[in-house]
């Protein structure tokens, strides 16, 4: 039906050039023109779909018409109340007058009540004794005639009669529409929907040659895209960075991912035979495979403390191999960078001038433990420092749900005179509580470069167990004194991974989720409020 109406509109336009009034159309299957409201609504549907394809244009005109109410319909059929009253009475002098009680019986209560008054007013009836009689031998029931006209045409030529009929609730207003239709820019008599895509089938069958195509709408709004977002690792890194900054730490400059065995291990007093230096644990570079030699006097102090001891240490008493020291590798921990920053921090203590030294990253005097006596003593070039880094490290690990060959380490070091283990523990508590971790425990551990060393455990309220969150310790004199730090300077440090708190924060079970090309945060809605 809808399509045949579209076809009718198109054929009419084709034949006549335009359709000045859609009420003149004779719809398929009908014999009379489509003057009714419903017919125009049906036509409107066809016009809308044709105009959306620019096949036609149309203008809307409004009409106000009238229809009969149920009571109006009844009166159009049977005559007005007054006419019906008049019709049952005898003409004056031609019989017995009808009493009001009898009249009600003859025409019904309602008609008797309404009709009497009007028939009197029109001069059609009169009183005779206690009853009623016709005065006029013939009447013209204008109400019935008007109602019939309205019923047939929807309007009344004698418009002045309309308000009264409306007041009597015999007619009601009906709003309607009709349309003027013209050919659109893409007029054609075909009702086939234009193609939106050129398909393989159309090419094979050759139908593409005769098909019509939907035009591109360059005005259309595009589909809104989801805006860019920070990677979860970046968000958590920013949070941790802010914790360090508000605790007065300075960020160490990002150093090269490639380090020498010297800075990654030797400078930290990691023995040259240590298993961490194995090929299975560390990625070594093949080209170039070896680094330039470090500053000779420091290199000498480091190799000596390893081989023969010194600074109160017996050393490892094992042969020192320059080859091992100069190997290039991907750093296995950011402590390799901390070592270089500490070496620079000690430059003044070694009597060297500081060019690009760690002084820039040193918050002199902050949180110092120095006594008056120490402050008064001669300047030995040392300044306290609080440094941090959050950066990438690499380990030759078997990858699984919680291990990757590369990850990020969060690392902090604090250098000051006479720091104690209590300072380290106190620092840890404050740092982790700022990360939302209130319950922490420490367990003695072993690192070649720290003594004592502590593993940090935190109670995870959701997992209901203690989980390891970091590693820490006080750097050994065998590491600090060859750098040139005075004997009373202590440096403590700690490290944790960035991935672990991020995974717990975002409810991610598989670390690969964090680094794939598609980061899906499957558990994000259920993520814990606490970070670890
Ligand atoms: N480098 C240690 C962390 C650490 C840093 C500083 C001091 C002690 C420990 C690690 O990789 O786990």
ipTM of the complex: 0.96
Q: How far apart are CA 337 and CA 130, in angstroms?
A: 125
Say if residue 212's pLDDT is above 90. Answer: no
pLDDT of amino acid 362 = 47
Say if residue 234's pLDDT is above 70. Answer: yes
Q: For residue range 456-481, what is the model confidence (pLDDT) as tens digits?
A: 998 887 778 888 889 999 999 999 99
Identify which has the larger pLDDT, 210 or 59. Answer: 59
Which CATH code, of 3.30.420.40, 3.20.20.70, 3.40.630.30, 3.30.1370.240, is assigned to 1-80+153-213? Answer: 3.30.1370.240
User: ∠389-234-403 over CA atoms, to 5°?
Assistant: 80
Ligand 1: list residues with CB < 6 Å.
333, 335, 411, 447, 450, 471-473, 493-495
Strands 385-394 and 465-475: unpaired
- What is the Å distance from ligand 1's center to 232 Cα? 23
What CATH number was assigned to the domain covering residues 81-140? 1.10.10.10
pLDDT of amino acid 298 = 97
Close Cβ partners of 190 (under 8 Å, ≥ 6 residues apart)? 10, 212
- Asked whether the beta carbons of 340 and 357 are under 8 A apart, the reply is no
- Asked whether the beta carbons of 270 and 451 are under 8 A apart, the reply is no
- β-strand partners of 127: 132
Q: How far apart are CA 24 and CA 35, in angstroms?
A: 7
DSSP string, 115-175: HHHHHHHTTSEEEETTEEEES-SS---HHHHHHHHHHHHSS-SSGGGHHHHHHTTSEEEEE
Q: Which of 243, 37, 48, 66 is nearest to 155 (CA)?
A: 66
Ligand 1 mutation pick, 342, 411, 419, 423, max ligand atoms within 8 A of CB? 411
360 C-beta neighbours (distance < 10 Å), count: 10
Three-state secondary-structure class, residue 494: strand
User: Is the link from the previous residue into 288 a cis peptide, with omega within 30 of 0?
Assistant: yes
Q: For residue range 246-282, what is the model confidence (pLDDT) as tens digits?
A: 999 999 987 789 999 999 999 999 999 988 898 889 9
The b-or-e profile of 132-171 (16+ CB within 10 A means b, else e) is bbbbeeebebebbbbbebbbeebebeeeebbeebeebebb
pLDDT of amino acid 523 = 44
The mean pLDDT of the chain is 87
Phi/psi at 324 (5° precision): -65, -40
- β-strand partners of 67: 172
- pLDDT-derived band at 22, boundaries 50, 70, 90: very high
In ligand 1, which atom is closest to the CA atom of 492? 7
- pLDDT-derived band at 105, boundaries 50, 70, 90: very high
Residue nearest atom 11 of ligand 1, based on CA coordinates: 333
Report domain 257-526's class: alpha beta
Q: In what order do the strands lie in the sheet with 171-183?
A: 18-19, 171-183, 56-68
Residue ranges of the chain assigned to CATH 3.30.930.10: 257-526
Q: For residue range 166-195, what is the model confidence (pLDDT) as tens digits?
A: 998 999 988 889 999 999 998 988 887 788
- pLDDT-derived band at 402, boundaries 50, 70, 90: confident
- pLDDT-derived band at 365, boundaries 50, 70, 90: very low
Is residue 388 exposed (0-12), middle (13-18) or buried (19+ Cβ within 10 Å)? buried
Residue ranges of the chain assigned to CATH 3.30.1370.240: 1-80+153-213
Q: How far apart are CA 185 and CA 491, in angstroms?
A: 83
Ligand 1 mutation pick, 471, 476, 490, 500, max ligand atoms within 8 A of CB? 471
Ligand 1 mutation pick, 259, 263, 333, 334, max ligand atoms within 8 A of CB? 333
pLDDT of amino acid 519 = 46
Q: For residue range 142-160, what is the model confidence (pLDDT) as tens digits?
A: 999 999 999 888 888 888 8
- What is the Å distance from ligand 1's center to 368 Cα? 23
Say if residue 324's pLDDT is above 90. Answer: yes
- What is the Å distance from ligand 1's center to 389 Cα? 12
- pLDDT-derived band at 356, boundaries 50, 70, 90: low
């Amino acid at each position: 039906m809808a399509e045949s109406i579209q076809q009718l509109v198109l054929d009419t336009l084709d034949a006549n050039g335009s359709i000045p009034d859609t009420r003149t159309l004779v719809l398929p299957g009908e014999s009379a023109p489509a003057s009714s409201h419903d017919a125009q609504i049906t036509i409107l549907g066809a016009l809308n779909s044709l105009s959306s394809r620019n096949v036609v244009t149309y203008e809307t005109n409004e009409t106000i018409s009238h229809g009969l109410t149920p009571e109006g319909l009844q009166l159009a059929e049977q005559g007005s109340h007054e006419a019906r009253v008049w019709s049952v009475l005898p003409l004056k002098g031609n019989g017995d007058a009808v009493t009001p009680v009898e009249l009600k019986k003859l025409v019904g209560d309602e008609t008797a009540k309404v009709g009497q008054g009007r028939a009197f007013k029109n001069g059609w009836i009169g009183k005779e004794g206690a009853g009623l009689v016709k005065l006029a031998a013939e009447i013209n029931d204008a109400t019935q005639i008007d109602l019939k006209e309205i019923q047939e045409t929807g309007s009344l030529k004698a418009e002045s009669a309309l308000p009264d009929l409306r007041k009597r609730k015999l007619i009601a207003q009906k709003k309607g529409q009709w349309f003027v239709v013209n050919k659109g820019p893409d007029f054609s008599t075909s009702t086939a929907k234009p193609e939106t895509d050129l398909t393989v089938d159309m090419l094979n069958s050759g139908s593409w040659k005769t098909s019509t195509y939907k035009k591109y709408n360059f005005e259309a709004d595009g589909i809104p895209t989801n805006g860019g977002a920070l990677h979860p690792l970046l968000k958590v890194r920013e949070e941790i960075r802010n914790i360090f900054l508000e605790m007065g730490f300075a960020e160490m400059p990002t150093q090269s991912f490639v380090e020498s065995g010297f800075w990654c291990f030797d400078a930290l007093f990691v023995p040259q035979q240590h298993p961490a230096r194995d090929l299975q644990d560390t990625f070594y570079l093949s080209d170039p495979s070896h680094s330039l030699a470090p500053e000779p006097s420091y290199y000498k102090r480091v190799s000596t403390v390893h081989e023969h001891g010194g600074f109160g240490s017996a050393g490892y008493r094992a042969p020192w191999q320059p080859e091992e020291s100069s190997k290039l590798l991907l750093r296995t921990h950011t402590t390799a960078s901390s070592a270089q920053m500490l070496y620079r921090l000690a430059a003044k203590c070694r009597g060297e001038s500081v060019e690009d030294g760690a002084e820039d990253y040193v918050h002199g005097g902050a949180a110092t433990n120095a006594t008056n006596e120490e402050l008064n003593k001669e300047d030995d070039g040392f300044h306290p420092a609080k440094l941090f880094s959050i950066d990438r490290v690499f380990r030759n690990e078997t990858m699984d749900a919680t291990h990757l060959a590369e990850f990020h380490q969060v690392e902090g070091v604090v250098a000051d005179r006479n720091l104690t283990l209590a300072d380290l523990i106190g620092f840890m508590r404050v740092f982790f509580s700022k990360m939302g971790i209130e319950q922490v425990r420490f367990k003695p551990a072993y690192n070649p470069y720290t003594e004592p060393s502590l593993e940090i455990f935190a109670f995870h309220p959701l997992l209901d167990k203690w989980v390891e969150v970091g590693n820490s310790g006080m750097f050994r004199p065998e590491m600090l004194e060859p750098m040139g730090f005075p004997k009373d300077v202590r440096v403590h440090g700690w490290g944790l991974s960035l991935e672990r708190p991020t995974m717990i924060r975002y409810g991610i079970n598989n670390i690969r989720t964090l680094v794939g090309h598609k980061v899906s945060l499957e558990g994000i809605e259920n993520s814990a409020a606490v970070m670890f």
